[in-house]
Structure 1
Amino acid sequence: MNSKIVVAHRGASGYLPEHTMEAKAMAYAMNPDFIEQDLVLSKDDVPVVIHDIYLDDVTDVAVKFPSRKREDDRYYVIDFTFEELQSLHVSERFDPKTGEQFYPSRFPKGKGSFKLHSLQQEIELIQGLNKSTGKSIGIYPEIKNPEFHLKNGKDIAQITIEVLSEYGYTTKKDNCIFQCFDAKELERVRKELKSDLFLVQLIEFPEETKQLDHFATYADGIGPWYKQVIDKKVNGKWQFTSLVEDAHK
């Protein structure tokens, strides 16, 4: 199989603040196959579309709620209700200590009027656009740090699966690819929560590329770091590792 799919990572994140509705609408207009959603739960169990369990590197939480940080000086999505989260202003990613924008050539930090939103709101945007344009662009949700959520008394996998089901995403045919870095949790999604979605095991560390046999017992694919796929240049040409071939086997 040689067909490739294009995934809008965090939306059109090179052009607008990542994971905002505006970044998703622009991504949609660029015709990808899928648009990605990173998910973290709010205090009142709403799956919020944001890249990390922290708020202080993409919002003005430190200005609006200065007293709500934890002992490590970080502000956590899970400590705020969805209503509180929606009062925050989202901007281009920055260093919370210095305030410096990570990618200076991207959308200017602090400009515009961007907000956080829920998985439900984003699905409604994408499904609504599918209806009004006649396209069929899929969703690509990723649950972030399920172990942290469980330690804080929340089951992000189950809550997310329920929301996806409500919107018609239940099987491999439903234009939804579900991903996670936590192998134990992704296996649980398949075996304990009995999800029939297309599951992708994200892999970060070199030793994980040796666990393909196990991943294949519950996942439909892997999401490796690009350096696990591309090896080195020989005579100006990139050489590839055996990972793709191994995964196909």
Structure 2
Amino acid sequence: MIRSTLIAVFSAVALTAPLLSLASGAFAWKSERPVVIAHRGASGYLPEHTLESKALAYAMRPDYIEQDLTLSKDDHLIVMHDIVLDNITNVAQVFPDRARDDGHYYTIDFTLAELKQLKVSEPFVTNGGVQTPKYPQRFPLWNSSFQLSTLDEEIELIQGLNKSLGYNIGIYPEIKKPWFHHREGKDIALLTLIKLKEYGYVDRRQNIYLQSFDAEELQRIKWELMPRLGMDLPLVQLIADTEWGEKKVETNGELVNYDYDWMLESAGLQKIAGYADGIGPWNMMLIRLEGGLPVSTGLAQRARQQNLVIHPYTFRADVQQLPGKFSRFDNLLQLFIRRLGVDGVFTDHPDKAIRVIDKIYPARPAPEAHYSSRVN
């Protein structure tokens, strides 16, 4: 565990002293300002992936806003974190007889018209018929009225605000569980690329990253799908803990967890650099604790050696979500920015991340607005 005295020292010196002992000996001050990715929108304040959450995130001026993508029965790209609807909507009340044998309600089993009938709330856990919020200090369960949205709706919101406000906030879509969609006869990667091209996201001149936990699908996107469509988007390989079961593979007729461990080593990162521009590891893959102090695992240095950008996830300001004995979000974030030199962060609280970064790097100038303030 991180010693409580370490936090006090972090607060006093703002991480200017050499407190983080990196196993590789590599401190990594970055001259370029790290980017802030609004994780599922401003999900620390409003229900994740709702248009309201994305509008609030936009007002905070992150560099990118994230879109997790799943498919509906009629092939609409739905912005939603998981392939099941159970713990974020009222699907069990609206469609009580539509669960699969495993008890889950899958987005892919519902048309867009049906999905639009659902109410969205904060993530919750159901136990004995009682719903408990996953993040107790966030927006109250079932307050107000929120809906699922499509990728079309979200892109049009962000592009519309870019036009009216004069910013250039990017998008950061994630293709969720391609392996599952393939088993359902759906090519979510192809449909995603077609939709992105329709909205003008064609190459590296646009403000976009495309991410996935699926290495094989990213390689297919890189070498097969994008050349076919005349596209060249920057790709990010997300890295999960193998035990999470983020991807399944069939072995001896059974679905087993895909092994992500190879991605953490030099040879694996070299392979990733052949098809992707960066990695998105869980933030705790970048540090470990030795004698109660945070120490680099060397993953950040190994990734930089392959010229991969590093965008770890997920930085949450909720006290209950801070790792170890970190009691302050800004201390945690400064550790990753100043000492590990990450290129960007996924965060549920983009406003707070921006405030931390503004103390380290010059604040970004506001662009000229494209509207008239004159009142007739």
Structure 1 length as normaliser, TM-score? Answer: 0.96
Question: Deviation at 1:204?
Answer: 1.3
C-alpha distance after superposition, 1:119-159 (max 9, x if no partner) = 01000000000001000000000010000000000000000
Aligned to 1:105: 137
Amino acid at match of 1:208: M
SS in 2 for 1:39: strand
Offset of 1:232 from its aligned partner?
2.4
How far 1:39 sits from its partner (Å)?
A: 0.3
**Superposed displacement of residue 235, structure 1:** 7.8
Residue 2 of structure 1 is aligned with which of 31, 35, 45? Answer: 31
CA positional deviation for 1:245: 1.4
In the TM superposition, what is the alpha-carbon distance from 1:208 to its structure 2 partner?
2.1
CA distance in 2, matches of 1:85, 1:199: 29
Q: What SS does structure 2 have at the residue aligned with 1:105?
A: coil
1:32 has 2:62 as partner? yes
Residue of 301, 319, 323 corresponding to 1:245? 301
User: May I ask how many residue pairs the two structures share in their alignment?
Assistant: 248
List alignment gaps of at least 5 residues for structure 2: 1-29, 242-260, 306-376
Q: After the TM superposition, which of the residue ranges 194-203 and 148-157 deviates more from structure 2? A: 194-203
**Cα offset, 1:207, TM superposition:** 3.5
Q: What's the CA shift string for 1:148-186, capped at 9, x where partnerless?
A: 000000000000000000001011221010000010001
* Distance apart, 1:231 and its partner CA: 2.3
Residues 195-216 of structure 1: CA deviation (Å, up to 9, x unaligned): 4101000011344212111111
Output the CA distance in 2 between the equivalents of 1:202 and 1:104: 27
Q: How far apart, CA to CA, are the structure 2 residues paired with 1:37 and 1:96? A: 25
Query: What SS does the corresponding residue of 2:123 show, helix, strand or coil?
Result: coil
User: Partner of 2:269 in structure 1?
Assistant: 212
Aligned to 2:373: none
Aligned residues: CA RMSD: 1.3
1:152 aligns with 2:208: no
Distance in 1, matches of 2:60 and 2:288, equals 30
- For residues 198-209 of structure 1, the aligned pairs below 5 Å read 198-205=234-241, 206-209=261-264
Paired letter, 2:272: F
Amino acid at match of 2:194: E
1:246 is paired with a residue of what secondary structure?
helix
1:16–1:23 contact (8 Å) kept in structure 2: yes
Q: Equivalents in 2 of 1:115, 1:204: separation in Å?
A: 28
**Are the aligned partners of 1:92 and 1:107 in contact in 2 as well (CA < 8 Å)?**
yes
- 1:129 equivalent to 2:161? Answer yes
How far, CA to CA, are the matches of 2:290 and 2:42 in structure 1? Answer: 30
Question: Is contact 2:68–2:176 with CA below 8 Å preserved after alignment?
Answer: yes
**Matched residue, 1:229:** 286
Higher relative contact order (CA 8 A, sep 6+): 2
| Residue of structure 2 in register with 1:118 after alignment | 150
Which amino acid in 2 is paired with 1:127?
Q
Offset, 1:84: 0.6
SS in 2 for 1:150: helix
Deviation >6 Å, runs of 4+: none
Farther off after superposition, 149-158 or 90-99: 90-99
- Per-residue CA shift, 1:4-61, capped at 9, x if unaligned? 0000000000100000000000000001000000000000001100000000100000
CA contact (8 A) 1:56 1:96 kept: no
- Structure 1 residue runs without a partner (length 5+): none
Task: Tell me the residue number matched to 1:52.
Answer: 82
Paired residue for 1:169? 201
Determine the C-alpha separation between the residues in 2 that align with 1:196 and 1:243: 27
Deviation at 1:234, TM superposition (A): 6.0
In percent, how many aligned pairs have the same letter? 54
Alignment partner of 2:171: what SS?
strand
